[in-house]
Amino acid sequence: MSTSKALALVTLFCAAMDSASATPWEWTAREVRVLKSFSLSALGDPPPSPGNRWADDPGAATLGEAIFFDPSFSANDQLSCASCHAPDLDFADGLTRAQGLGAGNRNTPTITGTAWNTWFYWDGRRDSLWAQALIPFEAHNEMGSDRLSVVRNVASSHTLTANYEAVFGPLPEFDDIAVARASPLADAALRDSWYRLNSEQQRRINTVFVNIGKAVAAWERTQHFKPSAFDSYIDSLDALGETENTPEISDDIKAGARLFMDADTTQCLQCHNGPTLTNGGFHNIGTGNFDGDMLDFGRVFGLQAVLMDEFNCLGPYSDAAPEDCTALRFLNRGHHIPLEGAFKTPSLRGVDGTAPYFHDGSAATLKDVMQHYNRPPDTAKVGEHELNALELTDTDIESLVAFMQALTKAATD
Amino acid sequence: MSHIFATRRHLVRLLALPAVGAGLSLASNAESNPLFTAVSERGHFEVSAAPQDQLLPIGTLHTWTVQLLDVSGRPLGNAALAVGGGMAAHGHGLPTRPVVTPTDRVGEFRVEGIKFNMAGSWTLRFGIEHGTTRDIAEITFDVDF
């Protein structure tokens, strides 16, 4: 090839590239509407937590933050809430399943954005952040403590006592209680101690224990979603699509977003929608279980548990008026919705930082997640899963992963 | 679970909208709230149902007002109403269990706790009891972003 011909080809090639990069990505009107519905700017403030009158109290949040990071609340003085919800791991732990004093049964979710949750735990067995925050203190495979030790731990610290009393008023005395430890949930000896207490003593312990949970929840509520690079992109769109103010993002991300919204190609939008990118519901997606034949029934037991929980919104330790307990008031107890093997839909915000994925931690990467949806198992171990096989190409999967990564990448990066 | 959708669909008239069949995308442009009406399966009753807002939201609880009428179009007193529904295409019911409360108006009910957790075609199903007569009416509509 002569030099002049080669230069001409290079010129043509560059012109073609310029033309391609200068062509704005075209979204349909519906796609723009759906994209706008994802925007974090559409989310607003966290919804009220009617059962926790201190949910937005700064003093309660200060106390809650101190407790969240304090290992003295665990049985071995080495584990805190932050052991599994580590700030440098996006408030998750990077493990397949949680590891406290023992191995947990499920993957650790992040606490970021949980102020917008209706249900807590993968099976929704708690209906508030404060009620959820109480369980790890007493779980034998988490912090392994007991509620009497937890409240005594506050009483034994001048700083914690002062911070507690600044929010909740005087800390009750526990001198009339001879035993050091007691819990209705722990081993037989601690349960025996608990049930030898009279009802007033139990209520006194529970009240402080619950306030500790409400303080932790007040702090966790401040851990909001952070605007992502994709938020900046969709906020710049007008009704017709990209504008002169639209920041550059790769076509791969846009292709992934298009696939995500395309109900004929994927089913993503059914469960991952709105600014939180979750519908907050429970779905059986055919994910597995941990130990051989052990089964995890998910929501079908979580639903029963939340109804029996003395710390639920309608319980004696809730600050809510009954009519404000909408999650329980309108709770569908299984009327035409599948509950067996169903687990809560997680948010996709920040998802790239919280591997591994699914309730069982069985997907190591986002690509593995998409492979699961593309080729779901024929049967679920529990119940029936809701997935239909997709026909995504490797390129499609890479685009969808790029889109989810853009939901994580900070807007200012 | 498919039996909740097993009965014959009845014509749904979408009033107060510029066109029928376009669902929420048109509802968002309407000046008044959408109003859905349906005749019950055996023709005993008529139902009109309206959400509290112009938009049918996805992901949030909302309230509807339901008016029961007799075959002559008069408000139906001393009737009982039950509300359910779901997505026939997906084979599941509502994610919530709505609570039905009679208002002070004859034949009118407030239905709280309705939630649509995804876009698509949703059905609300009304079980009506009046004396010894029972019948069912359905409305089906699109919910979109």
Q: What pLDDT digit, counting tens, does each position of A118-157 carry?
A: 999 999 999 999 999 999 999 999 999 999 999 999 999 9
- Judging contacts by C-beta atoms under 8 Å, the chain B residues touching residue A332 are 93-97
Q: Is the pLDDT of residue B3 over 80?
A: no
Q: Is the pLDDT of residue A3 over 90?
A: no
CB contact under 8 A, B59 and A336: no
Give residue A55's pLDDT: 98
Q: Is the pLDDT of residue B98 over 60?
A: yes
- 10 Å Cβ neighbour count for B27? 24
User: Chain B: residue nearest A37 by CA?
Assistant: B145
User: Chain A: residue nearest B115 by CA?
Assistant: A330
- Judging contacts by C-beta atoms under 8 Å, the chain B residues touching residue A307 are none
State how far residue B42 is from chain A, nearest Cα, in angstroms: 24
CB contact under 8 A, B117 and A33: no
Please name the residues between 288 and 317 in chain A that touch chain B, using a CB distance below 8 Å: none
CB contact under 8 A, B117 and A279: yes
Query: For A78-129, what is each residue's pLDDT tens digit?
Result: 999 999 999 999 999 999 999 999 999 899 999 999 999 999 999 999 999 9
- Judging contacts by C-beta atoms under 8 Å, the chain B residues touching residue A263 are 119-120
Q: Is the pLDDT of residue A58 over 50?
A: yes
| Alpha-carbon span A247 to A235, nearest angstrom | 10
Return the amino acid letter for A39: S
Please name the residues between 83 and 122 in chain A that touch chain B, using a CB distance below 8 Å: none
Query: By the 8 A CB rule, do A338 and B92 touch?
Result: yes
Give residue B113's pLDDT: 97
Give residue B23's pLDDT: 29
A192 sits in which H/E element:
helix A188-196
Please name the residues between 80 and 99 in chain B that touch chain A, using a CB distance below 8 Å: 84, 86, 90, 92-99
Query: For A347-372, what is each residue's pLDDT tens digit?
Result: 999 999 999 999 999 999 999 999 99
User: What is the rounded (10 degree) CA torsion for A312, A315, A317, A318?
Assistant: 70
Q: Is A203 on the interface with B (CB under 8 A)?
A: no
Query: By the 8 A CB rule, do A227 and A235 touch?
Result: no
| Alpha-carbon span A73 to A153, nearest angstrom | 7
- 10 Å Cβ neighbour count for A176? 11
Give residue B53's pLDDT: 85
Mean pLDDT, all residues of chain A? 92
DSSP tag of A228 = B
Q: Is the pLDDT of residue A68 over 70?
A: yes
Give residue A299's pLDDT: 94
Give residue A410's pLDDT: 86
Give residue B8's pLDDT: 30
Q: Is the pLDDT of residue A21 over 70?
A: no
Between residues A158 and A23, the one the model is more confident about? A158
Query: For A35-51, what is each residue's pLDDT tens digit?
Result: 999 999 999 999 999 99
Query: By the 8 A CB rule, do B97 and A335 touch?
Result: yes
Q: Is the pLDDT of residue A204 over 90?
A: yes
**CB-based burial of residue A195 (10 Å sphere; 0-12 exposed, 13-18 middle, 19+ buried)?**
exposed
Give residue B31's pLDDT: 58
Query: By the 8 A CB rule, do B114 and B96 touch?
Result: yes
Percent of chain A with pLDDT over 70: 93
A289 — pLDDT class (breaks 50, 70, 90): low
| Alpha-carbon span A288 to A285, nearest angstrom | 9
Q: Is the pLDDT of residue A18 over 80?
A: no
Query: For A303-331, what is each residue's pLDDT tens digit?
Result: 999 999 999 999 999 999 999 999 999 99
CB contact under 8 A, B145 and A326: no
Q: Is the pLDDT of residue A10 over 70?
A: no
| Alpha-carbon span A37 to A272, nearest angstrom | 11
Q: Which CATH number fits domain B2-143: 3.40.640.10, 3.30.70.100, 2.60.40.1930, 3.40.50.300?
A: 2.60.40.1930
State how far residue A37 is from chain B, nearest Cα, in angstroms: 7
Output the CA torsion sign for B18, B21, B26, B32: positive
Q: Is the pLDDT of residue B1 over 50?
A: no
Among residues A304, A320, A296, the alpha carbon closest in space to that of A126 is found at A304
Diameter of chain A measured on Cα atoms: 100
B33 — pLDDT class (breaks 50, 70, 90): confident
| Alpha-carbon span A206 to A100, nearest angstrom | 23
Contacts of A319-327 spanning 24+ positions with Cβ under 8 A:
A319/A50, A319/A51, A319/A52, A319/A53, A320/A50, A320/A51, A321/A50, A324/A48, A324/A50, A325/A50, A325/A51, A325/A127, A326/B61, A326/B113, A327/A118, A327/A119, A327/A127
User: What are φ and ψ of residue A334, in 5° steps?
Assistant: 115, 20
| CATH superfamily of domain region A58-220 | Cytochrome c-like domain (1.10.760.10)
Interface test with B, best of A267, A284, A330, A384 (most B CBs within 10 A): A330
| Alpha-carbon span A183 to B145, nearest angstrom | 48
Diameter of chain B measured on Cα atoms: 42
In this prediction, residues A162-185 reach a mean pLDDT of 97
Among residues A17, A15, A49, A3, the alpha carbon closest in space to that of A220 is found at A49
Interface test with A, best of B118, B121, B143 (most A CBs within 10 A): B118
Query: By the 8 A CB rule, do A329 and A127 touch?
Result: no
In this prediction, residues A288-292 reach a mean pLDDT of 65
- Judging contacts by C-beta atoms under 8 Å, the chain A residues touching residue B4 are 336
- For strand B13-15 and strand B35-39, is the pairing parallel, antiparallel, or unpaired? antiparallel
A20 — pLDDT class (breaks 50, 70, 90): very low
CB contact under 8 A, B95 and A332: yes
CATH of domain A26-43+226-298+340-406: 1.10.760.10
Place of tokens 């039905």: B100
Peptide bond into A356 cis (omega under 30): yes
Per domain, the residue ranges of chain A are 26-43+226-298+340-406, 58-220
Query: By the 8 A CB rule, do B79 and B91 touch?
Result: no
User: Chain B: residue nearest A276 by CA?
Assistant: B59
Give residue A13's pLDDT: 42
Give residue A411's pLDDT: 77
Percent of chain A with pLDDT over 90: 87
Q: Is B101 on the interface with A (CB under 8 A)?
A: no
**CB-based burial of residue B8 (10 Å sphere; 0-12 exposed, 13-18 middle, 19+ buried)?**
exposed
Q: Is the pLDDT of residue A293 over 60?
A: yes
Query: For B102-121, what is each residue's pLDDT tens digit?
Result: 999 999 999 999 999 999 99
Q: What DSSP letter does each residue of A240-288 carry, written as one string?
A: TB--TTPPP--HHHHHHHHHHH-TTT--HHHHS-TTTT----EE-----
Give residue A381's pLDDT: 84
**CB-based burial of residue A24 (10 Å sphere; 0-12 exposed, 13-18 middle, 19+ buried)?**
exposed
Give residue A186's pLDDT: 85
Give residue B20's pLDDT: 30
Per domain, the residue ranges of chain B are 2-143
